[in-house]
Amino acid sequence: MFGLAILFGAVVGFALGLTGGGGGVFAVPLLVYGLSVAPREAVGVSLASVGGTALFGVTPRLFRGEVELRTGLLFAIAGMIGAPIGNYLSGLIPENVLLILFGLLMFVVAWRMWAKSRQAATAKPASDPVAKETCEPSTCQRDQDGRLRLTSKCAVLLAGVGLMTGVLSGMFGVGGGFVIVPALVLFSGMAIHQAVATSLMVIVLVSISGVSSYVSSGSELSWQLVLQFMIGGFAGMWVGGLVAKRLKGATLQKVFASGVILVAIFVISKSMLLTN
């Protein structure tokens, strides 16, 4: 089990380094179906290991200035409030139903991300007058230097999405990156590579809130398994970061969406079989 835990952690870390999310998406199924960990315990192990791995990945990005701190902190604060709520709700839902809902959620996120990648691939340059005329107004806007104009409406929108992300994190044991990255791209107009870096910072903070809520509720958490996952996660994070630098934004979004879809199909099929 020791070797498998490190290997699975490397998969989780690679997903985080490549896309800024997806770590928890892969961690929970790997823990449940690969290491026979109970789904509720997998939630806690996933949150702790993904948060620790994300901390390793975000540190150099912070020094390189790739993280949009203001937007990330707004997301994180709202997410930290939502994580305990999600943890409470997860205790009210049967484990198989929880996994099926988890899979359905992944389908929705993957579809939105894939659609966004196609838009990015066919979009006209911002300097194109036709593109300016056909561009739909958004609640969140950016100035000519790419800085977010954090109006009250934009702040409310981002805080609301952040709160939802926190609830999902606490409920499903995910760092929330698979929601954070698309949300940052779709709602704040952030570039995919910057969204990946900012997502890692949000994951760290939301995971701290989620793990604290999990432990304080009296649930057991195998710190040895968390450590093994993190050891593999550090190596996977480093490799994923190198690969991400060589991929274009639209390609990165499609890779992310494809991986999420495959895991969603597996989780739902396994959960349906167990239910029957």
Q: Where are the beta strands (DSSP E) in the chain?
A: 141-142, 148-149
Q: In the predicted model, what is the mean pLDDT of the chain?
A: 79
Q: Residue 257 — φ and ψ, nearest 5°? A: -65, -40
| Section 48-61 average pLDDT | 87
Cβ neighbours of 221 (radius 10 Å): 16
pLDDT at 120: 58
- Check whether 56 has a pLDDT greater than 80: yes
Q: Residue 220 in 3-state DSSP? A: coil
In residues, how long is the chain?
A: 276
Q: Is the pLDDT of residue 272 over 50?
A: yes
User: C-alpha 273: how far from its chain's center?
Assistant: 27
More confident residue, 10 or 183: 10
Separation CA 196–CA 190 (nearest Å): 10
DSSP 8-state secondary structure symbol assigned to residue 167: H
Could you tell me which residues come within 8 angstroms of residue 257 by beta carbon, excluding any fewer than 6 positions away?
Answer: 110, 111, 113, 114, 117
Whether the CB-CB separation of 21 and 181 falls below 8 Å is answered with yes
Rg (C-alpha) for the chain, rounded Å, is 18
Mean pLDDT of 175-193: 76
- Residues 28 and 269: their CA atoms lie apart, in Å, by 15
Q: Which 3 state secondary structure label does DSSP give 196?
A: helix
Q: Where are the beta strands (DSSP E) in 119-245?
A: 141-142, 148-149
Would you kindly state where each structural domain of the chain is located, as residue ranges?
Answer: 2-275
pLDDT for position 227: 92
Q: How far apart are CA 183 and CA 192, in angstroms?
A: 10
Q: Is residue 165 within 8 Å of residue 180, measured between CB atoms?
A: yes
Residue 5, classed as helix, strand or coil, is helix
pLDDT tens string 216-271? 887 778 888 999 989 998 998 888 878 877 777 677 777 777 877 887 787 788 77
Query: What is residue 146's DSSP assignment?
Result: S
pLDDT, tens digit, 9 for 90 and up, residues 26-39: 787 888 888 888 87
* Nearest residue to 209 (alpha-carbon basis) of 240, 176, 183: 176
